[in-house]
Amino acid sequence: MAKKQIKLLREEVEIELELEEDDEPVLPIFELFSYPADFTLQGLYEKLSNGEIVIPSFQRRFVWTQLQSSRLIESFLLNLPVPPVFLYADKSTEELLVVDGHQRLKSIQYFFDEVFGDKVGGKEIVFRLRLNEHSEFNDKKFSDFSEKDQRRLKRQVLRSIVMKQVDPDDDSSILHVFERLNTGGTGLTSQEVRNCLYEGKFNDLLYELNDYPSWRAILGKDAHDKRLRDMELILRFLALCCSGDDYWKPLKDFLNKFMFKNRKGKKNDELKKLFMKTSDEVCNQLGKKPFHKKAGLNAAIYDSVFVAFAKNKKRIPKDIKERYAGLLRDEKFEQLISAHTTDVDKVEKRFDWVRTELFG
């Protein structure tokens, strides 16, 4: 299979990854219960305000302009059709997670609050409709409307499709629904999707660890990767180090399951110490940017060396740096880090090879 190398923009972490044609999970047949809910705008506003409808963490970046949001509000006022939003009922909390419709829902909330977007420099932007200058609603905020028009807008309906997974007995389908609804343009990375779907204490830990000084030195970049690939590397290490004996392909699905299993953060303290100590040791012994090749950071070298260090911290040989340099010159090792690197046999051979060469 052809290997594709991804080189990110200069301000981002450069990471060399292999994307394989069959690097997609084999999915079960899901049993989903879904129904249309014709919520009024007032009802949606109240649900957003009281936390019954939740905007997941990845979606919290609101990108619409005031003109775009104004045209949405005008569509309701003119009785024009508006596409439905998709909500997912979380089994554990019964919160409605926004799968599709973030910009529309926040526009509605902003208009009723009369404040557009977040504060900038401590200042609030008043949400006044930006419409054709001949429109009777142009330059008006919600409180400028007559009582009749206020009631009419509140009673407008935005159809919502509410989904809940019946089988398998988890919430795994939301991952795939989200991907399919949100990848028509620039595709979301796997970690961006996880960041949305598995928000919680473990996801917060990944953000925290991503700022760790030794880790930033290993990456060779102070700035975070905009597509969260640096966070995915942390997840990759933790999953392979803690559950590598049960590894299966595709890696993407393996990481999904590990993050879902640990989302509540019960092992956060243990995982935090593991990652920080390993990062410190690797940085001290191998220096800055030890896993970089011409195309950037090689994830296959990184994961095998990081796991080997984590499991052999108490018996690091004095000539570890020389051993590592020799490992990188080894032609057989080059084969293990250059093609089909997520195959089960390649992962097993690569990890065994690194452990033997560095710590044997």
Question: Do residues 302 and 347 make contact, with C-beta atoms less than 8 angstroms apart?
Answer: no
In the structure, what pLDDT confidence band is assigned to residue 100 with cuts at 50, 70 and 90? confident
Instruction: Answer yes or no: is pLDDT of 185 > 50.
Output: no
pTM given for the model: 0.61
In this structure, are strands 31-40 and 296-298 parallel, antiparallel, or unpaired?
unpaired
What is the pLDDT at residue 156? 97
Task: Name the more confident of 280 and 97.
Answer: 280
What is the rounded CA–CA span in Å between residue 284 and residue 269? 22
Residue 236 pLDDT level (bands cut at 50, 70, 90): very high
Mean pLDDT calculated for residue range 100-118: 92
Q: What mean pLDDT is reported for the chain?
A: 86
pLDDT tens for residues 127-169?
Answer: 999 999 999 999 999 999 999 999 999 999 999 999 887 665 6
Percent of the chain topping pLDDT 90: 64
Q: For position 199, what pLDDT does the model report?
A: 78
pLDDT recorded at residue 179: 63
pLDDT for residue 122: 66
Is the alpha carbon torsion for 148, 151, 154, 155 positive or negative?
negative
3-state secondary structure the chain: CCCCCCCCCCCCCCEECCCCCCCCCCCCCCEEEEEEEEEEHHHHHHHHHCCCEECCHHHHCCCCCHHHHHHHHHHHHCCCCCCCEEEEECCCCCCEEEEECHHHHHHHHHHHHCECCCCECCECCECCCCCCCCCCCCCCCHHHCCHHHHHHHHCCEEEEEEEEEEECCCCCHHHHHHHHHHCCCCCCCHHHHHHHHCCCHHHHHHHHHCCCHHHHHHHCCCCCCCCCHHHHHHHHHHHHHHHHHHCCCCHHHHHHHHHHHCCCCCCHHHHHHHHHHHHHHHHHHHCCCCCEECCEEEHHHHHHHHHHHHHCHHHCCCCHHHHHHHHHHCHHHHHHCCCCCCCHHHHHHHHHHHHHHHHC
> Residue 328: is its pLDDT beyond 50?
yes
Range 309-335 average pLDDT: 95
Is the pLDDT higher at 271 or at 163?
A: 271
According to the model, what pLDDT value does residue 321 have?
96
